Structure 1
């Protein structure tokens, strides 16, 4: 299995590198970082006259930056872009091979014309932005425009379009191949993993089978599903960028996707981190429970305790990762999180003062878990409620009673708790016997019946120590009451007591001894006249 994973990973890397190395204009492809919708304008610090700058684009590629005051930049950018698009269409309709880009002087400033169409005036702000003089800057912009216009004509030639069509088909084929490889890998991961059984500590306890990699494989399958979607999106963007006619769609997608992609990406990463945290917690929990050095009772108790702590840690990890994800998303969206965090801190202080009961619940829940008062799976009694613990976290405890009712108890209300399944349990059985029978004979019969049951293989796992006959414990209206104690595994006291009562009834019937019932004597007095 590891060898197959390595081969699949190397195949994915090789195909990806092949695509990247065989795309001739990859370095010119626009990226979300280079897109004006995802990049904040460069602010030139000048308190008296704040200046900003932004890019001029042609066919989805950045050409050069221009600067203006903050209020005039958008208008100037729009004017230059419109003039450049008009000049491009005029040049493409003409038969001239080389574009005609002229520089004229007006008001001591260079003015650029493309095919006699006014494009822009190079200002001192533009030169200050580039750190050049105006004369040098106009020559650079002229050269950039000539190269860009020639490339625009070249990209619309039939030969170039055929080459791009072949390249697009190759990219789509590679994307399909990558998706098939990822799908094959997913199918391999869906196969049931071999369970690693926990070692037996003795004949009375065996921990359930452990599958160490189940959590990690689940996370890996989800990562592969996301990878398939990412391969499709990247393939679409690359194919759209190959042709000048579809590049506007690519630009529109890149303008529309940054915020949704940022939120979606942060959400997916947050979700994967939550799942990965759960998998790590499960992995460490299972590693701690699988140990041959503990006694049966200690192993079971550790299993319950680790399960409880693992559930609490997984519950805490969710709000932590979600909070970090929200903060990262705000930072990526250029939101100043400093004041927001300060406000959240103040709100937290106010909520803590208003929610003191919740804080008490959390503190008491923390102490319950640390002190191992009880855990998930224990049978406890709190006040008048008795049941199996199904949920335990820092806020509350949920138990289900014998009638199936789910009872929720805030942890701050748990003051006195009786754990009926901690380490071991005990059968406390009171057996009434008739007054007229031989009491020593009855004690021997009860002792032999209980000992016979404890010696049977089916009950040796549940009964830890030999039954203890405590003797005559009381007298009541039915007869002497004999007390029997039997130490059992946790939660096995009820099954053992029910079976012992059945056997005692059969033994009493065989010895012709009736189980005493309440008796009343009626005395009649007759008065003599």
Structure 2
């Protein structure tokens, strides 16, 4: 946008104030890709047997006017004496045409340029003359190689070139007039204004999509919670439904079928919300590239309308367009790869026939694997894009790859601990030792896995501290939330209590906790009262095992201990305590004497 504003402003000032470039100034030629091999001709030169051909282009817009030919030079490092390479000859003709263009833009009254055929040293030439200059400009000499290549006589070829150059001079006079310049500058300003309006419209649409995306993401999370709740209810009633169907209880069985149907509808709605979310992201991506494309087309349109900039318009359609196409393809490939990864992960994660614990476990694991796969695919595609971009500028990518390989090996030898971190991180993901959201213990460190990548594992402990552990230092891991968890509840009661009464109280508390809907979702199966596990001087050790869903063992354990304490108090159950024996030596001696 800034380039366009500057260009239009400079051109407008040039037209309205009458400023003209210096007579000796020339529009610089853009660099062309050349080969390091002297036996190969430049990019724009073609060989046809013993002749080499190069185009002569208009100094206005780079349009090809005609082609000149010269004898083939087989080695440009050793040009024969008296021979001019064909590309040098074509460039000299273009430079002479630019002198005429420069004169036309400098003159206040536009001259009429005539193209004449003359003879110089018994050779046909084309020369340019105008009504304001006494000395014509020699443009090109018509040579025998030119006539041989075009299969015409020298006179015929000279007349043909005369007509082409004369038409170009007429076009030059038209474009250099003040009225045409003002008209084209007005068109350029209209294009620039249209670009600004289109950019504002694209920005406004992106804002709307961003707001809608936030609403859909919140809705997406609500749908995830609804699916999880419906899945828990479905798993909890599967066994009841099976027994009801066997017993012939049609009403109860119908309720279970309705519950399953509701679960499937909820899951379908969840996927529809996610589909709309992905579609909105795709629209934002499309609007971004529409913004780039609109400015690219607008800049090309402005360059092709302002005469002083017209010769650069053809170059806009060359390398810049190829760069845009390369990175558009890379960006599209990144989006497709991420969509395929998400599709594969969702297919693996959402399966109504898997156990609930396994579904939750896969959800935790896929979050980490998905991030790693997306990062890897993005890195590979970006590297490919960089190599393709370097290739457009004829930079040898093979040498860069070779240097990069050597540099990578040097880094790998110098940072073996980093390589070990990456390898161990891959093994952690492949073996599914733990994932983001698990509670684990590594050595004397424990906490919630908040971040996991190929290099480090980050834990958040109960005090809120973030603990970072390199993956190479991880040898033994205790996963406290793998598929399911367990509360190992044990309590010592006094010998004065009736053991059967204590066990009955524990069973009653366990069953009551299992029956309540608030806690039923957290208990995959009823608690198991094991009985008396040990006898000691402190009392009888009672043990209960309570199986819970992952991450719920702490909340369930606290609630169960509270209820056991209240039940023991209501039934006068005494807690065990150590037995002390006091030994009195004098009393013992008196007793023995008696």
TM range (shorter): 0.7 to 0.9
Superposed displacement of residue 380, structure 1: 2.0
Tell me the distance in 2 between the aligned counterparts of 1:43 and 1:219: 41
Equivalent of 1:243, from 289, 306, 317? 306
Q: Deviations over 1:79-131 (max 9, x none)?
A: 54553233345567598986322233434544332104334443769739966
Q: Determine the structure 2 residue equivalent to 1:20.
A: none
Q: Determine the structure 2 residue equivalent to 1:104.
A: 118
Superposed displacement of residue 468, structure 1: 0.9
Superposed displacement of residue 314, structure 1: 1.4
Superposed displacement of residue 271, structure 1: 5.4
Instruction: Indicate whether 1:410 and 2:470 are aligned.
Output: yes
1:58–1:148: 8 Å Cα contact kept in structure 2? no
Aligned Cα root-mean-square deviation (Å): 4.1
| Larger CA deviation: 346-355 vs 491-500 | 346-355
Superposed displacement of residue 453, structure 1: 1.4
Q: Given the two structures, how large is their TM-score scaled by the length of structure 2? A: 0.69
CA 1:440–1:96: 2 relative to 1, 3 Å: closer
Q: Determine the structure 1 residue equivalent to 2:100.
A: 87
Instruction: Indicate whether 1:202 and 2:232 are aligned.
Output: yes
Q: Deviations over 1:278-320 (max 9, x none)?
A: 3443344234433323221222122122222212201212321
Equivalent of 2:562, from 491, 495, 502? 502
Q: Deviations over 1:338-362 (max 9, x none)?
A: 2322333344445455555444444
Tell me the distance in 1 between the aligned counterparts of 2:51 and 2:450: 63
2:232–2:521: 8 Å Cα contact kept in structure 1? no
Superposed displacement of residue 204, structure 1: 7.7
2:486–2:548: 8 Å Cα contact kept in structure 1? yes
CA 1:347–1:159: 2 relative to 1, 3 Å: closer
Matches within 5 A, 1:208-287: 211-244=274-307, 247-248=308-309, 251=311, 270=330, 273-274=333-334, 277-287=337-347
Q: Determine the structure 2 residue equivalent to 1:155.
A: 175
1:398–1:408: 8 Å Cα contact kept in structure 2? yes
Matches within 5 A, 1:41-120: 41-42=42-43, 53=54, 55-62=56-63, 63-64=65-66, 80-90=93-103, 93=107, 99-107=113-121, 109-115=123-129, 116-120=135-139
Equivalent of 1:146, from 145, 166, 169? 166
Per the alignment, in what secondary structure is the counterpart of residue 314 of structure 1?
helix
2:448–2:460: 8 Å Cα contact kept in structure 1? yes
CA 1:454–1:59: 2 relative to 1, 3 Å: same
Q: Determine the structure 1 residue equivalent to 2:575.
A: 515
1:123–1:134: 8 Å Cα contact kept in structure 2? no
CA 1:181–1:415: 2 relative to 1, 3 Å: same
Q: Determine the structure 1 residue equivalent to 2:21.
A: none
CA 1:36–1:145: 2 relative to 1, 3 Å: farther
CA 1:329–1:80: 2 relative to 1, 3 Å: same
CA 1:176–1:44: 2 relative to 1, 3 Å: closer
CA 1:86–1:43: 2 relative to 1, 3 Å: closer
Equivalent of 1:472, from 532, 550, 553? 532
Q: Determine the structure 2 residue equivalent to 1:459.
A: 519
| Larger CA deviation: 459-468 vs 310-319 | 310-319
Tell me the distance in 2 between the aligned counterparts of 1:125 and 1:393: 72
Q: Determine the structure 1 residue equivalent to 2:6.
A: none
1:84–1:119: 8 Å Cα contact kept in structure 2? no
**Which has the larger share of helix?**
2
Of structures 1 and 2, the larger Rg is shown by: 2
Superposed displacement of residue 233, structure 1: 4.2
CA 1:352–1:60: 2 relative to 1, 3 Å: same
Tell me the distance in 2 between the aligned counterparts of 1:309 and 1:185: 33
Unaligned 5+ runs, structure 2: 1-28, 35-41, 78-83, 130-134, 236-262
1:44–1:50: 8 Å Cα contact kept in structure 2? no
1:473–1:483: 8 Å Cα contact kept in structure 2? yes
| Larger CA deviation: 265-274 vs 368-377 | 265-274
Per the alignment, in what secondary structure is the counterpart of residue 203 of structure 1?
helix
Tell me the distance in 2 between the aligned counterparts of 1:359 and 1:441: 61
Superposed displacement of residue 397, structure 1: 2.8
Q: Determine the structure 1 residue equivalent to 2:252.
A: none
Unaligned 5+ runs, structure 1: 1-34
Per the alignment, in what secondary structure is the counterpart of residue 409 of structure 1?
strand
Count of residue correspondences: 490
CA 1:331–1:515: 2 relative to 1, 3 Å: same
2:493–2:576: 8 Å Cα contact kept in structure 1? yes
Per the alignment, in what secondary structure is the counterpart of residue 233 of structure 2?
coil
